[in-house]
Structure 1
Amino acid sequence: MKILITGASSGLGAEFARQYANKDTELILLARREQKLRSLQKELAPKCKSITLLVVDVTDFVQLQKKVRSVGAVDLLLLNAGISLGHTQNIPTIHDFQNLYNVNVLANHAILEVLLPQLQAQKSGHIVFVSSLSSLFTMPSAKVYASSKRALNAS
Structure 2
Amino acid sequence: MTVRVPAEGGDDLSIRGAERADLLAVVRIENASFSQPWPYDAFEKFLGEPGFLVAECGGEVAGYVVADITQTIGRRLGHVKDVAVHPERRGDGVGSTLLTRVLAVLTAHGADSVKLEVRRSNETAKRLYRRFDFEALRVVPGYYADGEDAIVMIRGN
State TM-score, norm by structure 2: 0.34
Higher Cα Rg, which structure: 1
State TM-score, norm by structure 1: 0.35
Higher normalized helix content (fraction of residues): 1
Q: Choose between structure 1 and 2 for higher RCO, CA contacts under 8 A separated by at least 6 residues.
A: 1
Higher normalized strand content (fraction of residues): 2
